[in-house]
Amino acid sequence: MAKTTTAPLLTVTDLTLRFGGLVAVDHINLTAEKGEITAVIGPNGAGKTTLFNCLTGFYKPTSGESRIHRDGRDFILESLPPTRLISDAGICRTFQNIRLFQKMTVLENLIIAQHPGLMRASVWSIAGLLGTKKFRAAEAAAVAQARQWMERFDLLAYADLAAGNLPYGVQRRVEIARALCTHPVLLCLDEPAAGLNATESARLNELLLQIRRELGIGILLIEHDMSVVMQISDRIFVLDHGKVIASGTPAEIRKNPAVIAAYLGVEEEEEPAVLKQLSKKSPTQKATTPKTPTKNPSTKKVKKDGKK
């Protein structure tokens, strides 16, 4: 990927979010590039979705900042009102549990994603009520755009059906198409492969690669399904207990002992020992291993479930 700008698309600096005594996101630093798929992985409760909620304006972080570099301008996400996050900074997300407007049709879902622009065109609904030429043109353009996405995502057949009645895999595609209708520069997908079968998941991989190839936008991805993450990600950040414990290409991450430790679940006391052992075995690691494993003891005690 030839990059035109030197600054990364998304830069997260020292982002922290506390809920009372719990540090859900702990001084996270990460970057995402234009035209790349950046994955965020980690065990359950690692703070991945919380990080997303901070980026997309649902939570206000306690400290730190994240900025989007778009067309030579910087947007600090924390200082933007939620509506401008989408229109100006160009960051749009999907949800872990699909959040479509269920009773509305697929077409309507995609049109609502273009609401702010259409609302401006309808001039407080007055131009809309009068049905002015300008408004009708704007509406036709919105439909054309929705149609284009439906064609790309193979959704035309479902255009006029209620979104809530569609198969799960189709609903996922609708949600991604809906997010793309807002013209994002950074698309944040929260576990897009959750609940999909192997075929659907393979199809999603293809789709994400296609988006990256054709639109050249950045994709930030939270995912548990390693078959998705390892195949399509350009860069992976591993989160555990709200901290980035490793980052690198899929090949690097696969070998990283800290990641293995986090996923297999090791008791706090044993962790340094295991790490030492592991690092002896694989000297190629370039991980940013945790400096001190002294974390919030209340969340650390329980042995985590082994993950694939």
What gap in Å lies between CA 137 and CA 130, rounded to an integer? 13
What gap in Å lies between CA 42 and CA 121, rounded to an integer? 43
* Distance of closest approach, residue 74 Cβ to other proteins, in angstroms: 20
Of 165, 197, 249, 282, which one interacts with other proteins (CB under 8 A)?
165
Binding mask 170-189 for other proteins (x = CB under 8 A): --------xx--x-------
Which residues have CB under 8 Å from 157's CB, separation 6+?
none
Q: Which is nearer to other proteins, 31 or 122 (CB)?
A: 122
Q: Which is nearer to other proteins, 79 or 294 (CB)?
A: 79
Q: Judged by CB under 8 A, does residue 113 bind other proteins?
A: yes
Q: Judged by CB under 8 A, does residue 197 bind other proteins?
A: no
Report the DSSP beta bridge partners of residue 244: 239
Q: Judged by CB under 8 A, does residue 57 bind other proteins?
A: yes
The span of 5-13, 43-51, 94-102, 240-248 binding other proteins (CB under 8 A) equals: 94-102
Q: Judged by CB under 8 A, does residue 103 bind other proteins?
A: yes
Please state the length of the chain: 308
Please, are residues 185 and 155 in contact by the beta-carbon 8 Å criterion? Answer: no
Of 5, 125, 197, 249, which one interacts with other proteins (CB under 8 A)?
125
Q: Judged by CB under 8 A, does residue 102 bind other proteins?
A: yes
Q: Judged by CB under 8 A, does residue 169 bind other proteins?
A: no
Which residues have CB under 8 Å from 179's CB, separation 6+?
92, 93, 94, 113, 187, 189
Of 31, 38, 50, 56, which one interacts with other proteins (CB under 8 A)?
56
Q: Which is nearer to other proteins, 99 or 254 (CB)?
A: 99
Burial 255-272 (b: 16+ CB within 10 A, else e): bbbbbbbbbeebeeeebe
Please, are residues 241 and 46 in contact by the beta-carbon 8 Å criterion? Answer: yes
Of 160, 267, 268, 305, which one interacts with other proteins (CB under 8 A)?
160
Q: Judged by CB under 8 A, does residue 92 bind other proteins?
A: yes
Number of residues that bind other proteins (CB under 8 A): 46
Q: Which is nearer to other proteins, 55 or 266 (CB)?
A: 55
Binding mask 139-158 for other proteins (x = CB under 8 A): ----x---x--------xxx
* Distance of closest approach, residue 186 Cβ to other proteins, in angstroms: 13
Please, are residues 149 and 177 in contact by the beta-carbon 8 Å criterion? Answer: yes
Where does this chain bind other proteins (CB under 8 A)? Answer: 56-58, 82-87, 92-93, 95, 99-105, 107-108, 111-113, 115-116, 118-119, 121-122, 125, 128-129, 143, 147, 156-162, 165, 178-179, 182
